[in-house]
């Protein structure tokens, strides 16, 4: 994350100055430790370290980087420097890592549940992250072993009902235009969201390279996978809609290539705390 963005986070929290630290006359060197109270998959401690540095900390050491596992009681990051600087950074840094580690931990659980089916399937998180925070949410998803579904509107052609609504001939005309889209954008896959097996078969027969099965039940997914593979063995099959830890293994067993989910973004933030103490300048 760029310094200009991280600095804007700090300015949002410190509009003028830290009135509590100033009122108490807090001065001198200190040490701040970011600690997890529960087992987690860590995410965005690197950005948290930069928060401390931009706030004025003299030195920061990341002990657990993004993607690492941590048990309850482990220290993730240690910052040293002027106490006023540490107090500016600690809550912002803690909140960032708590939110992102919650996402990463949830993503890891989804990946592991899917693997318990015995099949290898890609777990892709949607782009429904909070506006302005997609990059750190994507980093948290990757830290958990999943991948972003799409980074934005520019990276692939994915046709939804809301697109079809503006095509004069509707679904039928869309089918005639898929081959044109592939020729015009040969460097982008053409995907179509479908709601029935009939739509899926028609889209693949028309040349769609990916179909996203929307709110199919696991049994329906298995049937669709078998039928679509007969039409095009190389078609990419994604499934989306209502998938979370309670049913992801069943969906994975049905045979899709990709499971699309928003579930990581609804994760509870990790339970973290920050402990500070006084320190002599130069102390380790």
- pLDDT tens readout for residues 189-245: 999 999 999 999 999 999 999 999 999 999 999 999 999 999 999 999 999 999 999
- pLDDT tens readout for residues 47-76: 999 999 999 999 999 999 999 999 999 999
Place 284 in a pLDDT band, splitting at 50, 70 and 90. Answer: very low
Decide if pLDDT at 267 tops 60: yes
**What is the C-alpha separation between 193 and 238, in angstroms, rounded?**
9
Decide if pLDDT at 27 tops 90: no
The residue with tokens 């049937």 is 223
User: Where do the domains of the chain lie, and which CATH numbers do they carry?
Assistant: 3-106+268-278 (3.90.1170.20), 111-266 (3.20.20.70)
- Taking all residues of the chain, what is their mean pLDDT, rounded to a whole number? 95
Beta strands 157-159 and 190-194 are: parallel
CA angle 278, 281, 284 (to 5 degrees): 80
- pLDDT tens readout for residues 104-146: 999 999 999 999 999 999 999 999 998 889 999 999 999 999 9
The full DSSP string for 11-37 is HHH-SS--HHHHHHT--SEEEEEEEES
Residues 84/29, Cβ–Cβ less than 8 Å: no
Decide if pLDDT at 280 tops 80: no
**What is the C-alpha separation between 93 and 212, in angstroms, rounded?**
37
Give the rounded percent of residues in the chain with a pLDDT score beyond 70. 98
pLDDT at 16: 81
């Amino acid at each position: 994350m760029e310094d200009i963005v991280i600095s804007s986070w700090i300015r949002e929290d410190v509009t003028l100055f830290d009135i509590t630290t100033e009122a108490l006359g807090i001065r001198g060197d200190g040490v701040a430790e970011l600690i997890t109270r529960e087992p987690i998959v860590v995410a965005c401690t690197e950005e948290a370290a930069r928060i401390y540095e931009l706030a004025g900390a003299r030195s920061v050491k990341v002990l657990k980087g993004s993607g690492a596992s941590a048990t309850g009681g482990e220290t993730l990051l240690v910052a040293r420097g002027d106490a006023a600087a540490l107090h500016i950074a600690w809550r912002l840094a803690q909140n960032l890592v708590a939110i992102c580690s919650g996402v990463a931990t949830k993503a890891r659980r989804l990946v592991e549940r899917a693997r318990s089916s015995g099949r290898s399937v890609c777990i892709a998180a949607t782009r429904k992250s909070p506006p302005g925070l997609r990059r750190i949410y994507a980093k948290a998803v990757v830290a958990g072993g999943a991948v972003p579904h799409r980074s934005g509107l520019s990276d692939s052609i994915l046709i939804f009902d809301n697109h079809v609504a503006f095509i004069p001939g509707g679904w039928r005309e869309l089918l005639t235009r898929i081959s044109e889209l592939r020729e015009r954008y040969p460097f982008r896959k053409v995907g179509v969201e479908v709601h029935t097996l009939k739509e899926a078969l028609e889209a693949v027969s028309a040349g769609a390279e990916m179909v996203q099965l929307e709110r199919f039940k696991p049994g329906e997914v298995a049937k669709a996978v078998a039928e679509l593979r007969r039409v095009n063995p190389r078609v990419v099959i994604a499934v989306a809609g209502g998938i979370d830890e309670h049913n992801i293994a069943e969906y994975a067993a049905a045979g899709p290539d990709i499971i699309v989910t928003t579930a990581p973004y609804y994760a509870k933030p990790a339970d973290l705390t920050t402990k500070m103490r006084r320190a002599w300048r130069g102390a380790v």
